[in-house]
Structures are given as C-alpha cells and as structure tokens.
Amino acid sequence: MLDATEGYTTEDGRKIGGVVMEMKNITLRFGGVTAIEDISFDVHEGEIRAIIGPNGAGKSSMLNVISGFYNPQEGEVWYKGAKRPPMKPYQVARQGIARTFQNIALFEGMTVLDNVMTGRIRQMKAGLLSQALWKGKAEREEVENRAFVEKIIDFLEIQHIRKTPVGRLPYGLKKRVELARALAAEPSILLLDEPMAGMNVEEKEDMSRFVLDVNDEFGTTIVLIEHDMGVVMDLSDRVVVMDYGKKIGDGTPDEVRGNQAVIDAYLGVAHD
Amino acid sequence: MPEQFIWGIEVFLNGLMAGVLYALVALGFVLIYKASGIFNYAQGVMALFAALTLVGIMEGQVPFSHLINATFGTEIHHFGWHVPAFAAILLTMVVMIALAWVVNTLIFKHLVNQEPIILFMATIGLAYFLEGFGDMMWGSDIKTLNVGLPQGINPVIDEVTYNIFDYGFFIDNLDIVATVIAAALVFTLIVFAQYTKQGRAMRAVADDHQAALSVGISLNFIWVMVWSLAGFVALVAGIMWGTKSGVQFSLSLIALKALPVLMLGGFTSIPGAIVGGLLIGVGEKLFEFAIGAPYLGGATEIWFAYVLALIFLVFRPQGLFGEKIIERV
C-alpha cells in the first residue's frame, strides 16, 4: 500500500503523492537529556500526518527540528529529494515550510490583515527601491499578494476582524489567524503544533473542519501534533506515535489503535 | 499688540525649530527601541561620530593620523583633496552602515534574549568606545561643518513680520531647512514602516522574534537594517547640529536631551518623538522667556525638560503616544 515514490490511496479514496519529506534517524539532545532518540518517518505529499504521544514525549521537539528551530545532533532531514543542510528557521520558512505554535506567536500589535500579509514575505520579491517608487512590479506584487491574503481570510472566516489588532482577539480566533498567516505562505508543508490546545468543543470542531478543508482545497501537506486522540484519529491519514523520545508506532489510525505498545504507553491499558 | 506678546511668538517659533533637532535625535532612539527593545544610549555619540566622519571625509583628513604619526614618526594629516559635500554624505552613510553591521555582529547578535538592562549597559559601553574611537580616528579639535546649507537670518520672514508687527522676527534659515528635512525624514520612515515589505518585517521583528522567524524573516538582516536606519538618522542629526554649533564632543550630550523627549512622546512612537521634541523645544524656550529669565534668574533651559518629563512620568508613564502598559495579574 505504501510506496516511496508512487504514493497511495487513502481509505476515503484520496490520492496521496510521493514522499516530500523524510526524517532519517533523528537524535536530539539537550545536554544530558535525550529529547528525540533515533526516530525516522516520512511524510507524503498531500497527506495529513499526525505525531502523537503523552506529555514530554518529544513531539514539539520533533516539530522544531522540522522547522529549523532545533538542529539535531544526529540524523538527516530530506526535503523534496535532497538532504537538507543545517538551517536557520527563517531559511526553512523560505523553503516553503510554514508553522504555527503551541502558545501562539502572532504580531500582537499589528492588525489581522498585516499579520497574514507577513506570511507572504516569501512571495514578495520587489526590491526596496522599486517599492519606494511604488511602481510597476512592486505595486502589482502588493495587489496580487493582497488578493491572495483576502482569499485566505475569507476561507478561514475571519473577514469581520480583518482590521482588528490581534492583541484584542480571543484565544480561538488568534489560533485561526495564526493558521491564516501560515497558509498565506502557500506552504508545501504546514506544521501545526497542537492546533486544538485550549479550545472548547465548538472551537475544536471548527478547527478540525478548517484543517480538513485546507488539505482538501489547497492540497497542502499537513504535519500536526495533537493531544486529543479523538481528533487525531478522525483527521489524520497516518500517525507517528512517540513516547519518551522514541517512536513506538507508525501507521494508519486503525493500525496504531491496535498496536499493543501504543495502547500500553499512551492509552493506559492498565486501567481496563 | 504688546511687545511681550510679539516676542513670545518669536520665542515660540524658535522653540519649534530647536525642538525639531531634539526630535531628530529622539527618532533614532525610537527606531532601535521599537525593532529590538534596545535603548541605545549611543545614539547621540553616533550623531557625533557621523558628523566627525563627514567633516573628516570632506576635508580629506587622514584617519588615525595621530596614531600613525606617533608610531612611524611621520607628519601626515591631510590627503590634500576635498570631497564635495554630497559625495561625502554618501560615503559617511556607507561608514554608518558598516558600523551598524559591526555593532550587530560583534555585540548585539550575541546578546539576544538578554535582560534589557544588559542590552542598555552594552550600549553605554558602545557609546564610550565610539566616542574614544571617533577621537582617535579624527582628532578631538572642534571642527566647522559646512555642507552648503543656508544659514543666517531669513530676510523674507524678517521683512514680512516687520510689516505686520513693526518688529522683524529672527528665524535662522538653517532651522527652516532642518524642519523641512525632519518632516521629510519622518514621512519617509512612516511610509517605509507601513507600506514596504522590509518595513512590515521590521514591525514583525519588533513584535515577536519567534513568529518573525517562522514566516521567513532573518532577524540579523532586520537588526543591521534598523541600526543602519538609526545611523542615517544620526547622520542627519549630526549634520544639523554640527552646522549649527560646530562638530564637538559635547554633541554627544544632546543624547541626554532626547531622554525627556522620549518620556513625553513614548519610546515606541515615531510621531511621539516628533511631538515630544517640539513640546520640549517650545516649552523650555517659552518657560525661560516668560518665567525663567524674569523671575528665576535664567538658565532654566538646562533643567526644564527633565522636570517636565518627571511630571509626565508620574501621570502618564507610557508617554503621549506610547503603547499603554497593561500588566495582567
């Protein structure tokens, strides 16, 4: 069913492409603490890939490795068929890997529109001088990018708060603005760090719908970390399970659900 | 119309012009503070350094000539050429950009995420280093700076006001030029911050480093850019002050006058720096004219700005335009 170059077809009949990113034997240490130990997994184009595990399992560390915030001591990151050299986070972002944060990192003093516009920095190429003169290329670029951003804003249903400074928004909406900013970059891979954390049931349902819609509408590859087992199993095509920095399971939600190591470590079978 | 009132108007106008110069220095502080949270004590010294370099380049001075002569027993002081003002200003800007890069690479890049007080101390170190370095490079004598800006009484204003009030106002041409240039500078900076990609990135970095990185903004690039901008503002301020009162080391002390300006205007607001500068300029001149000189024995200009700032600190700590400080408990 799985093939590195050919891709596969999901249970609900979606066509998934070949491997877009591969983590090979990643090990990450902080001093004496090993946060990630020899983990390998791949991400196929167009799939929703989840990383789950109990608190402290190393999920966020893994996301930070992918987005360049941490550089692992051992292992290789392969992206679009090439080995990636150690990179700064901004360089990773410019390669088309966008992310959100568990604790939300938005520009609080800027409006929603400006926040989402910062996501377009990768697409804006006009030099300072041509922008200063506000002519030709720069103006066309600004208009095009603005149009794309408005599309994203409509898509995520945040039109009504376009001009509101982000600092004034409630938590659930901030999460959505952060998603909008990441989407504005037209990423090849979208990393979501606990997108439903701290949300109520209704907000969670909204966010799940948006994640599925984004994947469906833009064909975006999504890697997400999540605590909420129910949400993960419904959303994702394939799941990596981590515990104490090690990979203890990898497969479709059904496969993972039946994996004894996963049940023991994560679901707490002892209580049955 | 009573004479006192007419003189008052003239004092007011002169205060406005002096305020523009304060505002220029304060503007440099605001730029760096907004983008990196660093209160740059060295801003005044940067203005001095820029002015020294400009004079040095224009007059074809050999940099470090004292050091060279002492080491090698030579007697060289000048290259023997004169560089036109415009070219010299461009060259000085190149020097200021290089300085920005060096300052960021050698100092502030390594102090990311440190306490504000540590960053502040680093800028004090930078200020004194730069003062000594400027001295070593260009010598410590007072220099005159003339880049061709008009100076002296403006005859038109003199004549017009004479016809109206029977008393000609003394407004210096240089002050008028300074005002126009400052206005243009502020307008440019605001347009830059609001409407360009780099400006948006600058605001983003000022707001949240992590988020800025995640959308592909290089922090180092933005910091070098901001220090260069501050260097440019310092150069403009250095030219104005240097032309007005000569390039001398007391120039670095005007940095301290920018402090009350910032307390009034707020550390984070570009318009605030301008309004704060004007308020202090006008305030201290009018106070001296109406109260200081006749009743308090004069010289109130020295302390008026600080006392005004103190009053502001008590009643409106975030300044006129600063972001309101709300601490959630």
Domain boundaries, chain B: 3-315
DSSP A62: H
Does a structural domain hold residue A102? no
Q: What integer pLDDT is reported at residue A135 of this predicted model?
A: 63
Tell me whether A121 touches chain B (CB under 8 Å). yes
Does a structural domain hold residue A78? yes
| CATH at A245 | 3.40.50.300
Does a structural domain hold residue A174? yes
Residues A81 and A117 in one domain: no
Mark yes or no for CB contact A106/B208 under 8 Å. yes
The percent of chain B in helix, strand and coil, each rounded to the nearest 5, is 75, 0, 25
Tell me whether B194 touches chain A (CB under 8 Å). no
Residue B234 near residue B96 (C-beta atoms within 8 A): yes
Residues A72 and A115 in one domain: no
User: Does position A223 have pLDDT exceeding 90, yes or no?
Assistant: yes
Provide the number of structural domains found in chain A: 2
Does a structural domain hold residue A103? no
Residues A197 and A140 in one domain: no
Type of residue at A142:
E
Residues A16 and A138 in one domain: no
Which tokens go with B262?
Answer: 């910032």
Return phi, psi of residue B115, to 5°.
Answer: -60, 145
Map tokens 């032309």 to a residue: B243
Residues A196 and A178 in one domain: no
Distance from CA of A270 to the nearest CA of B (A): 40
Put simply, whether the predicted model's pTM sits higher than 0.80 gets the answer: yes
Q: What integer pLDDT is reported at residue A271 of this predicted model?
A: 47
Residues A173 and A143 in one domain: yes
Identify which has the larger pLDDT, B166 or B99: B99
Best residue in A87, A106, A121 to probe B by mutation, most B CBs within 10 Å? A121
Query: Alpha helices, DSSP H only, in chain A?
Result: 59-66, 89-94, 112-118, 128-133, 136-155, 171-184, 201-218, 229-235, 253-258, 260-262
Does a structural domain hold residue A101? no
Residues A78 and A192 in one domain: yes
Mark yes or no for CB contact A110/B197 under 8 Å. no
pLDDT tens per residue, range B4-35 = 888 888 888 888 888 888 888 888 888 888 87
Range of the domain at A248: 1-96+187-272
pLDDT tens per residue, range B167-195 = 888 888 888 888 888 888 888 888 888 88
Q: What is the enclosing helix (H) or strand (E) of B93?
A: helix B85-106
User: Does position B324 have pLDDT exceeding 80, yes or no?
Assistant: no
Map tokens 């998603």 to a residue: A179
Q: What integer pLDDT is reported at residue B30 of this predicted model?
A: 86
Q: Residue A26's beta-bridge partner residues?
A: A39
Q: Which of A91-100, A227-236, B230-239 has the lowest mean pLDDT?
A: A227-236
Residues A84 and A113 in one domain: no
Does a structural domain hold residue A56? yes
**In A, which residues are within 8 Å of B206 by CB distance?**
109
Does a structural domain hold residue A91? yes
Residues A193 and A254 in one domain: yes
Tell me whether B204 touches chain A (CB under 8 Å). yes
Residues A92 and A6 in one domain: yes
**CB < 8 Å & 24+ apart, contacts of B58-61:** B58/B82, B58/B83, B58/B84, B58/B85, B58/B88, B58/B147, B59/B143, B61/B138, B61/B139
What's the whole-number mean pLDDT along residues B88-94?
95
pLDDT tens per residue, range A117-146 = 999 887 777 666 666 665 667 778 888 889
Type of residue at B148:
G
Q: How far apart, in whole angstroms, are the C-alpha atoms of residue B228 and residue A47?
A: 45
Q: How far apart, in whole angstroms, are the C-alpha atoms of residue B59 and residue B82?
A: 5
Helix (H, G, I), strand (E, B) or coil at B78: strand
Residues A233 and A248 in one domain: yes
Q: What integer pLDDT is reported at residue A221 of this predicted model?
A: 95
Phi/psi-derived region of residue B68, left when phi > 0, alpha when psi is between -120 and 50, beta in every other case:
alpha
